[in-house]
Structures are given as structure tokens and as C-alpha cells.
Amino acid sequence: MRLNRRRFLGTAAASAALLSSPIALGQKRPRVVIIGGGAGGATAARYLAKDSDGAIEVILIEPSRTYYTCFFSNLAIGGFQPMSKLAHSYGTLASDYGVTVVHDWASAVDREKKVVRLAGGDTISYDRLVLSPGIDFVKGAIEGWDVTAQTKMPHAYKAGTQTQLLKAQVEAMPEGGTFAMVAPPNPYRCPPGPYERISMVAHVLKQRNPTAKILILDPKEKFSKQGLFMEGWENHYAGMVDWLTDEFTGGVQRVDPNTMEIVLEDETIKADVVNVIPAMQAGSIAQQAGLTNEAGWCPIVPATLQSRMDENIHVLGDATQNGDMPKSGYSANSQAKAAAMAIRHALTGSRAFKPRFSNTCWSLISPDNGVKVGASYVATDEKIAKVDGFISQNNEDDALRKQTYEESLGWYAGMTADMFG
């Protein structure tokens, strides 16, 4: 940990300057501006600041002062983690690493002028821009649902109030009621996430409301860790969870947040809680900046995470179309380090090494019953390509599952320390 009084004062001064006047162009130190303070953006900020040792000015733009991690938010729904444990601030990045943190919305990127416009009116110029905007939902993906409906039919796919709302709704379900999830099509953030959530909801209902039912309406024919989840549901929540694919239902035609109905091809289902997770695309700032392809994602150069549309912009995490890496916090963190190294090399001439990527996703199925899936990756010319992988096995003994869960808690602590310092 580098707590340095001189640097701390320097940061405070920089923040004050930023607030009082537009930032002058032509500054001496090269400047990297980062949009988005999640697993990709916060990690990139920390590594750029730490490893360049002050040679690069790092500015992080993130609207939230308190950031709730999406990873582990299902555990909050299940009652295994308090919401407060998911909350993080940017104080250490500012005080210990000299990152200038600007709490505002980035409303536009002017790629010609290399300037980011903030909703508050300021503009910030950059030498390199790192874009880690996460996901947004595709408008009109599910008829009858838009973000104004999220208070009735929450997505809970951005953590915070949405997570708390869904948790409260599950806990308030009438006896023997129905929880329905409209699951997303590929590709989407956190592939095992919807199914871990089902496990957590089932755990809560098993304690409080054991005659309740859970329906998953899924456009996919298969899903991440399917065998492990199915086994877990059978063993721990027998008869409670029904997974229905479009082949069976004809697909979700529309939803009605006022009547809490889901209209299928030949049938209408009324549920007490409807968790709608719509189709996703790269966060809207990426769309605005013209960095997305027809599928709505940002194609990147695998080794450096540079946008295929603009070499001065690096895109991280969920927003990328990278090849084989899943959209996860771990992936974004892994990509951020490769990008930070490439940016330092480009701006300061520091040593560049061959990038390497990895990912592991842990999921909790029932108390002390954790599973994981992971892989390692390399950058080829075309894509980030998988080289090796593993997955937990069916019928593992209790001690291993417990250890895997404890390991996931350790990972959470390690990952958030790696992001926020």
C-alpha cells in the first residue's frame, strides 16, 4: 500500500482544479481517461496509476460514489451476504494511487477532438481513453418491458436498489406463489448468473415458503454449468424449479408489468414476482461513440483491447466482443491489466509483455455448496482464444463444495482489493 502525503495533496489539488475550470489541453504528462468504475475500469485505473508511478495522469469517470458489485449480488438475494458488503468507494484509488475520480456521467465522446463530455458540462481531453461501460438492455427486446417497468418487474442485473427490490419481492411472495424469470439470450453478462439467482431464490423460498414455485422461461437450449445447477436443484429444491425453453413455450411474446402477466405462445402466466433479464448490448456510451458493431458490442484488438474502430480507445469487459472470454467481472479485471500494460508501453515506453487472460466464475447453489468454471486464454490476431479450462464435477463431496464456496469468498476479497486498492 502506498500512502503518500505528497501524492494525496496532489490529488486533492487536481480535483479542485477539475471542478473549478475546464481542464487545459496540452498537459505535460500523458493523460488516460477511464469511463466506468467497475471491474474493468477500476482495475485499469489502479494498474495504470500504480505501475506508471505518476508518469501518467489517470482520471476515472464514474457516476456512483458507492459502487455495488454485480458479482456476489445473487448472494445478497439469498441472504448469504449483506448488501453493505457489496458496497465499495473510490477513496483509496484517489488517496493512495493518485487517481482523479470524477463522479459524473460521461455523456459523449468526441473521437476527433479526443475529448469526453460530462453531463455536468465539463469536458476532459485524453491521450488514451479506456471505455468500460458494462451493459445496457436492448430497447424493445421484450414487448411490454422497458426500464420504467423495472420497479415492478426488476432485472436486478445492475446491483444496488434493483437487487434489494428483487430480494424484498421474493421475501414478500404469498404462500405457494410463483416466481418467474425471463432469462436472457446469449451473449449476456455473467453466464451462470441467472441460474445462481434461481438457486438463491429457491434457497429463500425453501425456508420461508416451501410450496412456492419457480419458473425459468429461457430462450436458450442450454446454459452455463447446467449439469451442476440441475443436479443441485434436484438435490436441494426438488420439485420447485421448472426450466422451460422456447421450444416448449413458444417463447415469451410480451409481459404486462401492471397485471404481472407473461404471455407465451399458447398460454398466459400470472406470477407474483417477475424477474425480467432482457437481451443486452454494450453500454450506451459505446453506442454513442460509434464503437459498436451491428450486434451492439465493441470489437477489439485481442492483445491490447484497442477498439477496432479507434486505436486511441481501449474497451474492456462486458461491452467487448472479444472472442471466447465470457462477460464477467473476472474477465474485465484480466483484460484491464493487459490494456493497462499496452497503454503504459504506448505512452511511456515501459516494457511490454505478452498478454495473458484468465477467468473463473464461482456460483453458490445451496449453503456451503459452491461450484466453479474457468478457463485461460491467449490473444490471437482474430480473437481472445480459449486454451484450457475446467469445471466442477457432479457428485463432488461436501468438503470440496464447502471449500469452493470459501474460496469464492476469498476471491471476492482479492478481486475487490485488486480493483479498489
Partner 1 sequence: MRALIPALVLAFGFLSGATSVASAQDIARGERLFNACLRCHDVGKDAKNRIGPHLNGVFDRKAATIEGATYSKAMKRAGADGLRWTIDTLNIYIQNPKNLVSGTRMNYRGMRKEKDRSDLLAYLRQFSVSPANIPEASASLLQQDAPSLHEETYLDGDAEYGEYLSGECTSCHQSSGADKGIPSITGWPQPDFVIALRAYKKGHRPHPVMQMIAKRLSEEEIAALAAYFKELH
Binding residues vs partner 1 (CB under 8 A): 1, 47, 51, 330, 333-334, 337, 341, 351, 353, 356, 358, 360, 372, 374-376, 387-390, 399-400, 402-403, 406-411, 413-415, 417-418
Instruction: Please state the closest distance from residue 63 (CB atom) to partner 1, in A.
Output: 25
Instruction: Please state the closest distance from residue 408 (CB atom) to partner 1, in A.
Output: 7
Instruction: Please state the closest distance from residue 414 (CB atom) to partner 1, in A.
Output: 5
Q: What is the phi-psi region of residue 413: left when phi exceeds 0, alpha when psi lies from -120 to 50, beta otherwise?
A: alpha
Q: Which is nearer to partner 1, 1 or 24 (CB)?
A: 1
Instruction: Please state the closest distance from residue 316 (CB atom) to partner 1, in A.
Output: 14
Q: Which is nearer to partner 1, 163 or 408 (CB)?
A: 408
Instruction: Please state the closest distance from residue 111 (CB atom) to partner 1, in A.
Output: 28
Instruction: Please state the closest distance from residue 397 (CB atom) to partner 1, in A.
Output: 8
Q: Which is nearer to partner 1, 307 or 333 (CB)?
A: 333
For the record, the C-alpha cell of 207 comes out as 425456508
Q: Are 365 and 232 in contact (CB under 8 A)?
A: yes
For the record, the C-alpha cell of 241 comes out as 424449479
Q: Which is nearer to partner 1, 24 or 399 (CB)?
A: 399
Q: Which is nearer to partner 1, 288 or 403 (CB)?
A: 403
Instruction: Please state the closest distance from residue 336 (CB atom) to partner 1, in A.
Output: 9
Q: Which is nearer to partner 1, 7 or 337 (CB)?
A: 337
Q: Which is nearer to partner 1, 289 or 343 (CB)?
A: 343
